[in-house]
Amino acid sequence: MKTLSLQNLSKTYYDLYEGSHHTALHDISLDIPAGEFVSVVGPSGCGKSTILNMVAGFIPHSGGEILVGGQPVKGPGRDRGVVFQSFALFPWKTVLDNVGFGPKMRGVPKAERDEIAREYLAMAGLSHAADRYPNELSGGMQQRVGVVRALANKPDVLLMDEPFASVDAQTRMTLQDELSRIWEERRPTVLFITHDVPEAVFLANRVVVLSKGHVLADVPVPIERPRVWDKLVEDDAFKELSNKVLALVRSA
């Protein structure tokens, strides 16, 4: 796992209707040390997904630098694993082959990558679904596959773009519990984008609040781990911190 560093990152769009440049993000600086989990929250349109897409290399940035382990980012790469809101599983591949896709791209032989995929599926309690196709699984199961597919490729940084926004509330809490457990086991460096404040606080070491294209606040989360909803849902420190972040987001 490596550090992720954003230095004076900016993004400007050319607005076709107005015929002028429009600044979506300006001067975003953010350091995520190796093995730290950082959530980015903010209202719709604040540019949080734009940050993730630039870090992933899906869209170019206009200014500043993105460094992974000190190396500048140029386009998408296997050093940055991505978990998508829409899951983005390959519908024509079994669950096993979806998870084994990253290793396959590295040239890992079939038997070996199946073994890797099975190990990661077991971690998410998905061993029984290995031979299923994505459309045969519930949304929650699909996103578990999405998470382990990214992890099985052993990325330096894990990027998660509102990964639990399209599953039902009950499943979402289970997935958050599981992600928290997996993070504690493996300690990946995570950049987690969400608009759900309790989710952001529950998972992260730090919560960054974004507003109109700049960083409004950077709030540490000193709540001890392991974290599970059964304990935290009535925890005063958690509730207080969540309310504090929520107030910041609403002021944004």
Partner 1 sequence: MVSRRILGTMTFIAPLALLVVIWGIVVPVFQVNPQIFPSVPAVVQAGVNSILNGTLLMHVGASMGRVVLGTVLAVLVAVPLGILMGISKGVSDFLTPLLRFFSVLAGIAWIPIATLWFGYGFGAIVFVIFNGVFFIVVYNTLLGVSTIPMSLRNAAASLGAGRWALFTEVLLPGALPNIATGVRTGLGFAWRGLIAAEMIATNVGLGYMLFVARDFYQTEVIVFGMIVIGTLWLLIDRLLLAPFERATIERWGLVR
Decide if 42 contacts 214 (C-beta within 8 A).
no
Judged by CB under 8 A, the residue of 26, 63, 101, 244 near partner 1 is: 101
**Residues 152-191, mask of contacts with partner 1 (x by CB under 8 A):** -x--------------------------------------
**C-alpha distance from residue 95 to each of 127, 132, 153, 169 (Å):** 10, 6, 15, 24
CA–CA dist 181, 227 (Å, integer): 8
One-letter identity of residue 218: D
Q: Which stretch binds partner 1 (CB under 8 A): 81-89, 109-117, 123-131, 226-234?
A: 81-89
| 58 makes contact with partner 1 (CB under 8 A) | yes
CB of 136 to partner 1, least distance (A): 9
Residues that contact partner 1, how many (by CB under 8 A): 27
Of the pair 56, 248, the CB lying nearest partner 1 is at: 56
**187, amino acid identity:** R
Which DSSP string corresponds to 13-32?
A: EEETTTTEEEEEEEEEEEEE
Our CB check for partner 1 shows the closer of 42 and 103 to be 103
**Who contacts 80 (Cβ-Cβ below 8 Å, separation ≥6)?**
55, 56, 57, 68, 73, 155, 156, 157, 158, 159
Calculate the CA dihedral of residues 220, 222, 226, 230 and round it to 10 degrees.
-90
Say whether residue 113 binds partner 1 (CB under 8 A).
no
Among 17, 18, 70, 75, binds partner 1 (CB under 8 A): 75
User: What is the nearest approach in angstroms of partner 1 to the Cβ of residue 53?
Assistant: 8
Mark the segment that binds partner 1 (CB under 8 A) among 75-83, 178-186, 193-201, 222-230.
75-83
